[in-house]
Chains A and B, each alone.
Chain A
Amino acid sequence: MPIYLDNGATSYPKPDEVCGAMIEYMTHNGASPGRGNYARAMDADKLVYETRKALSKLLGAPRPGQIIFTCNATESINMALKGYLRPGDRVLTTGYEHNAVARPLKKLETERGIRVELIPCAPDGTLDLSAMRSLLDGGTRLVAAAHGSNVIGCITPLGEVVGTAHERGVPVLADAAQTAGAYPIDAAALQIDMLAFTGHKGLLGPTGTGGLYLREGVVLSTLKEGGTGGMSLSPFPPDDPPDRYEAGTMNVAGIAGLRAAVSYLMGVGVDAVRRHEVELTGILLDGLDSVPGLTYYGPRDTEDRLGLVSFNIEGRDPHKVSMSLDRDYGIMVRSGLHCAPSAHRLLGTAPVGAVRASLGYFSDREDVERLVRALKEISSRGE
Chain B
Amino acid sequence: MFLQDIDVIDVDLCVQQPEKFIAHTRASADLSAVTPYLNAMFRTAAYNHDDRSIRFTSDRVEYTIIREQVNIAKFANRTELHELLDWFKDLVNDIYDSRGEMTPMYECRKPVPVFFIYNLLPKTNCRMCGEKSCMVFAALLNKLEADIDACPPLSEPKYAENRHKLEVAFA
Query: Which residues of A pack against B, CB within 8 Å?
Result: 33-34, 37, 42, 45-46, 48-49, 52-53, 63-65, 228-231, 233-234, 238-240, 242-243
CB neighbours of B79 from chain A (8 A): 48-49, 52, 64-65, 242-243
- Interface positions of B (Cβ within 8 A of A): 7-13, 18-19, 21, 76-80, 82-83, 86
CB distance from A126 to the nearest CB of B (A): 39
Secondary structure of the A contact surface, majority rule: loop
Whole-angstrom distance from the CB of A40 to the nearest CB of chain B? 12
Q: Is the CB of A37 within 8 A of B10?
A: yes
B19 & A231 in contact (Cβ 8 Å cutoff): yes
Chain B residue nearest to A234 (CB atoms) is B19
A42–B8 Cα distance when bound, in Å, is: 6
Which residue from A53, A229, A239 sits with its C-beta under 8 Å from B78?
Answer: A229
With a cutoff of 8 Å between Cβ atoms, the chain A residues found around residue B82 in the complex are 45-46, 49, 53, 64
A230–B76 alpha-carbon span in the complex (Å): 9
> How far, in angstroms, from A42 to B25 measured CA to CA in the complex?
11
Chain B binding surface SS class: mixed
**Of B10, B11, B12, B78, which one neighbours A49 at CB under 8 angstroms?**
B78
Instruction: Check if B77 sits within 8 Å of A34, measured CB to CB.
Output: yes
Whether A240 contacts B8 in the complex (CB less than 8 A), given A230-B13, A231-B19, A234-B19, comes out as no
Shortest Cβ distance from A189 into chain B, in angstroms? 20
| The residue from B7, B12, B77 contacting A42, defined by CB atoms under 8 A apart | B7
Shortest beta-carbon distance from B6 to chain A in Å: 10
Inter-chain contact A45/B8, CB cutoff 8 Å: yes
Chain A CB within 10 A, most for which of B10, B11, B18, B77: B77
- Ordered by A's residue number, 15 sampled pairs between the chains whose C-beta atoms are within 8 Å are A34-B78, A37-B10, A37-B12, A42-B10, A46-B8, A49-B78, A49-B82, A65-B79, A65-B83, A228-B77, A231-B19, A234-B19, A238-B19, A238-B77, A240-B77
Residues of B within 8 A of A238 (CB): 19, 76-77
